[in-house]
Amino acid sequence: MTAIEAAPKLVKLAARNDENSLILDGHEPRLHFASGSEANIWLDVDFSTYVNKSHPEIEVELPTFHPRRGMLNDLCQAAHLCEHLDNLDGFIRPVNIQDEDVTEKNKDVNKFFASLNNTTKHVMSGLTDLSQLDSVIRMAEIVAGGRLEDNPIISFITCAVKSPLQLVDDTTQKLIEIARRGIPLVMSSSPQGGSTAPITEDGMVAQINAEILCGVALTQLVRKGTPVLYGSVPTRARMDDLNESYGAAEFNQYNVDCVQMARFYGLPCYSTAGVADTKVPGIQASVEKMFSHILVSLSGPHYLHYAFGLLERTNTFCPIQAVLDDAHIQMVKSFLREPNIGPREVSSSLEQVKQVMNSTHKLYVRYVRPKLHAGEITPPYPFESRDMSDEVLLKASRRMEELLSLPVEHLSKDTTKRIYNDIPGLLRRLNIHDQEK
C-alpha cells in the first residue's frame, strides 16, 4: 500500500498545443475521451446508388464496406481526423501500421512521428520494442522543446500482466524502463470474464485490481512519483466463440466497478467504453457504443479510451464511425456538464415565469435565445435525415470529408529536419517537407 500511496494523484498529459493538455486528478471525476487502439483493419466505406426494381423512380444511396489492412498513411489520416473531432481529447493510435517496410525495429518511431505530425493533442501509445524507447523520447523532446518528463506530450500504455495474474518479462521490462525515465504510463490490464478471469463481478474486480495494483506498485518501486494511470480494460467472453463482447451488460458492470476501485485509491483512471461487436458502422454499432459511453462515463473515470471508431471488438477502425461517435460523445459531454444554478439564475427563471404567465401565449420559447446563441442548448442529431430515409452514414461520410479537408498544423520544417537527423528508422515518405520539394 505504501507504493500505491506514492503514486501521484494528479497526472498531466501535455500536448503539442498546450491548450490541448489534460489534467487527470484522481480526486476529481473529470472525464476525457480518447481514441484507441491499434486495430488491424481499416474500414473504407463507399456509397452507391440503388434503384428500386418495382419503382424505378425511387433511388437510395447505400454503403458498401471495404476492410483492408491498416497502413502508415491511414494512421496519418486518423490523426488528422481526430485533430478535428471536437470531443476527442487525447489521441491513441487507432490503427496498427502493417506496411512492408515497417518492422519491429522502426515501428515505434514511425507511429509516434505519424501521430505527432498530424495532431496537436496528447499522443499515447504502446511500445513495440524496448530498444526504440529512447528514440521515441528523444523525438518527443525535440517536438516539446525540453525534457519530456517536464512536458509529457506523449505517454505509454503498458500491459505488464497477462491474465490471470502473470507478469510477462517483455512488457514488465518496458514498464520498468518507462517508469525509470519518469514518463507517464498506463498500467493496463485486460482480463476476459469467463476465460482469463472469473465471470462474476466480484471475482473479475478482485483479479483485475490485483493485476493493476501490482504494476502500479512496481512503477513506484522503480521510481517513486512516476505518473501512472489505473488502466482497467476488463471484457467479457462471448459464449459462442470466446471472443470479447464489448456490447454485453457485464462489460459495463466490470468497467464501472474498476472505476470505483481507482477512485478508492485516488488514482487517475484509464477506462474503457465505446467499442462495438459488429463489423460495420450503423445502428448496432452506435447502440453498443452509446450503451457503454453513457454507463461508464457516469461512474467518473478520467481517461476513457477506445471511444472512437472501433468495430468488430477492437479489430477494425472505421473513420466514419469515429465521426458518429464524436457526435454521440458530444451528447454525453453535454449531459455531464456542470449545472449552472445560482441566485442570479434562479431570479432570472422566476422573472421568466412571471412574464410568461402575464402573456397571452404562455410560451417560454423566446427566453431560450441567450442560451441557444451561446451554444448551451444541445443541437439536434447532426446526421438526421429528412423524410422517410436513413442517411446517417452518408451524412457522416460527408462530414468526415469536410474534416479531412481542414488543414493540420504539421511539425515545422526545422523540427522535422532535426528529428530526421537525430532519430534513426524514420521512413522518408512521412516527411511532408520532402514531398513539398
Partner 1 sequence: MTNEEIIQLLKENIIQGRRDENDEGLEEGMVGQPGAKELTEAAIEAGISPDTIILEGLTAGMNVVGEKYEAKEYFIPDMLASAEATGIAMEILEPHLAKAGVSSKGKVVVATVKGDLHDIGKNIVSLLLKGAGYEVLDLGNDIPPERIVDVVREENPDFVGLSALLTTTMKMMGETINRLREAGLRDKVKVLVGGAAVSQDFADEIGADGYGTDGFHAVRLVEELRE
Beta bridge partners of 92: 124
Residue 320 CB, nearest approach to partner 1 (Å): 24
Toward partner 1, which CB reaches closer, 105 or 369? 369
**Distance between CA 294 and CA 304 in Å, rounded?**
11
Residue 277 CB, nearest approach to partner 1 (Å): 37
Residue 372 CB, nearest approach to partner 1 (Å): 6
Residue 371 CB, nearest approach to partner 1 (Å): 10
Q: Is 361 in the site for partner 1 (CB under 8 A)?
A: yes
Toward partner 1, which CB reaches closer, 363 or 388? 363
Residue 175 CB, nearest approach to partner 1 (Å): 51
Q: In Å, how far from its chain's centre is CA 234? A: 16
**Distance between CA 31 and CA 308 in Å, rounded?**
15
**Distance between CA 125 and CA 223 in Å, rounded?**
21
Cell numbers 491511414 correspond to 74
DSSP string, 402-424: HHHHS---PPPHHHHHHHHHH-T
Q: Return the closest-CA partner of residue 172 out of 208, 122, 222, 125.
A: 222
Judged by CB under 8 A, which of 2, 48, 54, 360 binds partner 1?
360
- Provide the residue type at 107 as one letter: K
Q: Is 66 in the site for partner 1 (CB under 8 A)?
A: no
Burial of 370 (0-12, 13-18, 19+ CB in 10 A): exposed
Toward partner 1, which CB reaches closer, 170 or 345? 345
Toward partner 1, which CB reaches closer, 131 or 334? 334
Toward partner 1, which CB reaches closer, 55 or 373? 373
User: b/e for 180-219, b at 16 or more Cβ within 10 A?
Assistant: ebbbbbbbbbbbbbbbbbeeeeeebbebbbebbbbbbbbb
Burial of 407 (0-12, 13-18, 19+ CB in 10 A): exposed
Question: Among 227-235, 322-330, 356-364, 426-434, which window interacts with partner 1 (CB under 8 A)?
Answer: 356-364
Residue 377 CB, nearest approach to partner 1 (Å): 9
Q: Up-side HSE of residue 33: CA atoms within 13 Å toward CB?
A: 29
Question: Among 1-9, 245-253, 358-366, 382-390, which window interacts with partner 1 (CB under 8 A)?
Answer: 358-366
**Distance between CA 28 and CA 231 in Å, rounded?**
17
Residue 351 CB, nearest approach to partner 1 (Å): 10
Q: Return the closest-CA partner of residue 228 out of 158, 299, 146.
A: 158
Toward partner 1, which CB reaches closer, 27 or 366? 366
**Distance between CA 128 and CA 330 in Å, rounded?**
33
Q: Is 353 in the site for partner 1 (CB under 8 A)?
A: no
Question: Among 44-52, 117-125, 132-140, 359-367, which window interacts with partner 1 (CB under 8 A)?
Answer: 359-367
DSSP tag of 271: E
Size of the site for partner 1 (CB under 8 A): 12
Toward partner 1, which CB reaches closer, 344 or 361? 361
* Binding letters toward partner 1, positions 362-401, x by CB under 8 A: xx-xxxxxx-xx----------------------------
Residue 395 CB, nearest approach to partner 1 (Å): 15
Residues between 207 and 266 with contacts to partner 1, criterion CB under 8 A: none
Toward partner 1, which CB reaches closer, 384 or 434? 384
Residue 149 CB, nearest approach to partner 1 (Å): 45
Provide the Cα torsion 4, 112, 142, 174; round to 10°: 40
Residue 362 CB, nearest approach to partner 1 (Å): 7
Residue 352 CB, nearest approach to partner 1 (Å): 11
DSSP tag of 52: -
Query: Could you give the residue ranges of the DSSP H alpha helices within 38-106?
Result: 72-83
Toward partner 1, which CB reaches closer, 335 or 364? 364
Q: Return the closest-CA partner of residue 87 out of 340, 374, 382, 341.
A: 382
* Binding letters toward partner 1, positions 311-350, x by CB under 8 A: ----------------------------------------
Residues in touch with partner 1 (CB under 8 A) = 360-363, 365-370, 372-373
